[in-house]
Amino acid sequence: MNINIPRGTQDILPGEVEKWQYIEQKAKDICGRFRYSEIRTPIFEHTDLFARGVGDTTDIVQKEMYTFQDRGDRSLTLRPEGTAPVARSYVENKMFGQVSQPVKLFYIGPMFRYERPQAGRYRQFVQFGIEAMGSNDPSIDAEVMALAMTMYQELGLKSIKLVLNTLGDLESRKAHREALIAHFKPRIEEFCSDCQNRLETNPLRILDCKKDRGHELMANAPSIHDYLNEESSAYFSAVKESLDLMGITYVVDPTLVRGLDYYNHTAFEIMSDAEGFGAITTLSGGGRYNGLVEDLGGPATPGIGFAMSLERLLLALKAEGVELPVTNKLDCYLVTMGEEAKSKAPGILFDLRKAGISAEKDYLDKKMKAQFKAADRENAKFVAVLGDDELANEQINIKDLSTGEQVQVPLDEAAQYMKDRL
């Protein structure tokens, strides 16, 4: 029987997985500097969380969720995104009552969406995201964008651009919504069926339609910027000022809309300009979601966050030809000569490992020459050669493969000798 990997998923093999580990470590480093703490929520949640939290007019809820009944007849869903679970946990664990506010969290883990797989779009993908909950200060909006940009920049991407918009507050959005309906309604039959449904439920999302983006009504659609009330305008200006202070460049795009329903005020995406990145140019997106926590039964709490997938990040790195400084170096390969030495090897190897040295030996009964070859192939810094004669004198030969230098040291000093030189 031949069983293949499910469509839209991938195996990440040794050789590649080191890049993932490097990126994950970078995310954790940056979050430490920006003071975001890790949160780990379950892979599955009650379906209602997403239906309510993500918004039931979104693509995610309408057609992308992996939903199943468990044996207790509960409807559960593999998480398609991280914000609703974090908001749920925030409410459930009463984080709004914590002394230290705002609550700043990050997550890294797999998400699941039933999508048509293509480059940069998978059915299981890994998102790194952050959420800052409990502050309405525009500088935290800027901080979230700064963190996302820092991640890409420190990994070595150059062709990235921050695209910024505001969706305004509820009042501004309402006025804009009515203008959008009036604009599209007379010719809505020229749009796709999704857009026809969106006209009444969520007309803002028409602007985000991938099928109808070329329609002439799109270009002159009412801009949210003409419907911002004073407070929303001031908020947007303050966000931009904070970005300016940090020296982060951005372009304002009044047509930028996020796919999820719960956003207001700040919305942003980070795009790649790199040649060869492909049809999908968005690397990550985020925004402010001031209604979400309340919708999930918590006190009214402002929040802002973003999420990126590691898959798209890796695509961008590849498109820009960036090599991550990943190493899988071996400190010491233990070569044995003779039966006595071979039989003692497990203990010596274990001692090296306990002393903090990465160490390997042969398990296939290879001749000495082949053992040296293996050491080379694994990029060992040192080869420790143990023969029956050395063993009798409790000595071992250590050869530095980079310099060719070779010394004999007492067996119990071998670890320290190498550690001093690593």
Binding-site residues from annotation for L-histidine: 81-83, 113, 127, 131, 258, 262-263
* φ, ψ for residue 71, nearest 5 deg: -65, -15
Q: Candidates 10-18, 144-152, 230-238, 280-288 — which segment interacts with ligand ATP by CB under 6 A?
A: 280-288
**Alpha carbons within 13 A on the beta-carbon side of 124:** 11
Q: How far is the CB of 193 from ligand ATP (least distance, A)?
A: 18
Reading the block at residue 282, the tokens are 């968005």
DSSP string, 274-287: -TT--S--EEEEEE
In sequence order, the 6+-apart residues with CB closer than 8 A to the CB of 103 are 90, 95, 96, 132, 133, 134
Closer residue to ligand ATP (CB): 256 or 335 = 256
Q: How far is the CB of 13 from ligand ATP (least distance, A)?
A: 19
Other residues' Cβ atoms within 10 Å of the Cβ of residue 379: 12
- The reply to whether 127 sits near ligand ATP by the rule CB under 6 A is yes
Q: Candidates 139-147, 303-311, 350-358, 391-399 — which segment interacts with ligand ATP by CB under 6 A?
A: 303-311
- The reply to whether 122 sits near ligand ATP by the rule CB under 6 A is yes
Q: Which of 106, 107, 125, 262 binds ligand ATP (CB under 6 A)?
A: 125
If DSSP codes are grouped into helix, strand and coil, which group holds residue 163? strand
Which residue in 163, 128, 138 sits closest to 30, CA to CA? 128
Closer residue to ligand ATP (CB): 304 or 384 = 304
Per CB under 6 A, contacts with ligand ATP among 232-271 are 259
Q: Candidates 118-126, 196-204, 247-255, 344-352 — which segment interacts with ligand ATP by CB under 6 A?
A: 118-126
Q: How far is the CB of 283 from ligand ATP (least distance, A)?
A: 6
Q: Which of 283, 359, 391, 418 binds ligand ATP (CB under 6 A)?
A: 283
Q: Which of 45, 141, 311, 362 binds ligand ATP (CB under 6 A)?
A: 311
DSSP string, 64-95: I-EEEE-TT--EEEE-S-SHHHHHHHHHHTTG
Per CB under 6 A, contacts with ligand ATP among 85-114 are 113
Sheet with 406-410: list strands edge to edge. Answer: 359-361, 330-337, 380-387, 395-400, 406-410
Closer residue to ligand ATP (CB): 301 or 309 = 309
CA dihedral 318, 145, 131, 225 (to 10 degrees): -120
Q: Please state, in angstroms and rounded to a whole number, the distance separating the CA atoms of residues 91 and 12.
A: 35
Q: What is the DSSP pairing of strand 359-361 with strand 330-337?
A: parallel
Closer residue to ligand ATP (CB): 269 or 362 = 269
Q: How far is the CB of 404 from ligand ATP (least distance, A)?
A: 47
- The reply to whether 79 sits near ligand ATP by the rule CB under 6 A is no
Q: How far is the CB of 248 from ligand ATP (least distance, A)?
A: 18
Q: Candidates 42-50, 86-94, 309-317, 348-356 — which segment interacts with ligand ATP by CB under 6 A?
A: 309-317
Closer residue to ligand ATP (CB): 26 or 121 = 121
Closer residue to ligand ATP (CB): 54 or 391 = 54
Q: How far is the CB of 62 from ligand ATP (least distance, A)?
A: 12
DSSP string, 216-255: HHHHTPPPGGGS--HHHHHHHHHHHHHHHHTT---EE-TT
Q: ∠ CA(303), CA(160), CA(209), 5° rounding?
A: 65
Q: Which residues of 131-165 are buried (b: 16+ CB within 10 A; e: fewer)?
A: bbbbbeebebbbbbbbbbbbbbeebebeebebbbb
Reading the block at residue 47, the tokens are 């379906």
Q: Which of 284, 290, 336, 371 binds ligand ATP (CB under 6 A)?
A: 284
- The reply to whether 115 sits near ligand ATP by the rule CB under 6 A is yes
Size of the site for ligand ATP (CB under 6 A): 19
- The reply to whether 282 sits near ligand ATP by the rule CB under 6 A is yes
Give contact residues for ligand ATP (rule: CB under 6 A). 81, 113, 115, 120-122, 125, 127, 259, 280, 282-285, 307-309, 311-312
